[in-house]
Amino acid sequence: MLSPVGSIRGGKTDSRLVALTYDDGPDPVGTPAVLEALASLGLKATFFQLAYRAERHPELVRAVLDEGHEIALHGVDHTRLTSLPRGEVRGLLENGRERLSKVAGRDVRMFRPPYGAQSPATYAATRRAGLMPVVWGPTVRDWVDGEAPEVAARGLDGLHPGSIMLMHDGFEVPPGDTTPEPTFDRGDVTRELVAELRARDYEPVSVSELITHAKPWRSAWFRN
């Protein structure tokens, strides 16, 4: 029986490393903007993608990979897994992993639950689907609008060596939700954030780079 403990929340290190991660893509506007910003900064990141969006925009999946970034699963869609019958979760995750891996042309191993919603049962289903849950620490909260410098500054709250930073290259809301999409340029948010990180001597990396150079920090992460 798998223990319901062990989502990757960061890396244990004194080195000033921070992993940059992006959720909810690929998106025809946000993803190219983020890729352009990362290329200009010479950085690699991790993109947690929705399988249905990847199938709609395979050219963006290829662009992410061609730039040397890594791809991970964020779900078939943005359904909150803790809202589903227990028996459906593993099959849904296996389906999402298979579909995203097919588009990417490589196996996908990491997973971030939509909304960060995870229970002991969905954690166990995730591991049985061959996926490792990866969550986060600081976030720019870029589902809330604002000027790019203001949004980027939110990511400094709780920042520490080995952090995993949550950002988005897409905007996904539940059916019927009328929340307006933020108006800032997601590439500009990346540039502003990286400038702040570098001013504090942090080196932005991907999740795989982080846990290669730092011992993964795994702990329980359960929320509805």
Q: How confident is the model at residue 64 (pLDDT cuts 50, 70, 90)?
A: very high
Residue 23 confidence (pLDDT) = 98
- 57 catalytic residue (yes or no): no
Q: Pick the catalytic residue: 23, 24, 142, 169? A: 23
- Which neighbouring-strand residues pair with 7? 219
Q: What is the pLDDT of residues 178-224, one digit of tens each?
A: 899 999 999 999 999 999 999 999 999 999 999 999 999 999 999 99
Instruction: Give the separation between CA 162 and CA 108, rounded to whole angstroms.
Output: 22
| Mean pLDDT of the 7-11 span | 98
Q: Return the CATH number of the domain spanning residue range 7-219.
A: 3.20.20.370
b/e 55-67 (16+ beta carbons within 10 angstroms → b): eebeebbeebbee
Positive/negative CA dihedral, 193, 196, 202, 203: positive
Residue 5 confidence (pLDDT) = 66
**DSSP code of 101?**
H
Q: Pick the catalytic residue: 57, 74, 78, 168? A: 168
- 168 catalytic residue (yes or no): yes
Q: Is the pLDDT of residue 3 over 80?
A: no
| Mean pLDDT of the 145-173 span | 97
Delimit the domains of the chain by residue range: 7-219
- Residue 132 CB: number of other CB atoms within 10 A? 18
pTM: 0.97
Burial of 1 (0-12, 13-18, 19+ CB in 10 A): exposed
b/e 76-111 (16+ beta carbons within 10 angstroms → b): bebbbbbeeeeeebbebbeebbebbbebbeeebbbb
